[in-house]
Amino acid sequence: MATKPLNPIQITRDYVKNLKDKIRVEKTILFGSSARDEMNQDSDLDIIIISPDFKKMKYIDRLILLSKARGNQFTFIPMDILGYTNEEFEKMAKESVVLGEAQKEGKEISFK
């Protein structure tokens, strides 16, 4: 039996629904191979979460919160999830090649 392909946009939306119980999510960006529709069996989902609530949090605490929001539902899906305030992301995108590409080529996920 063939496995059903992952839908990175829907997985990201479902993940952010869990996260919105914990923080205000201003923007969600899917980037990397999943945003370019180039995923393969070794790919992971690369997600950036922008929230004003991160301003008061240490970076390690953000990562813990983002990881815990995965719950049991998403443990089988490899995900790299980064969390920034909008100001931090704008600054980091100028300094980091990866974040710069995410800013230019990433897909902002809508929640309508």
Question: Residue 3 pLDDT > 80, yes or no?
Answer: no
Instruction: Look over the chain and give the mean of its residue pLDDT values, rounded to a whole number.
Output: 90
Domains of the chain by range and CATH? 8-107 (3.30.300.90)
Reported as a single tens digit per residue, the pLDDT across 43-86 is: 889 999 999 999 999 999 999 999 999 888 777 888 999 999 99
The region, left, alpha or beta by phi > 0 then psi within -120 to 50, assigned to residue 43 is beta
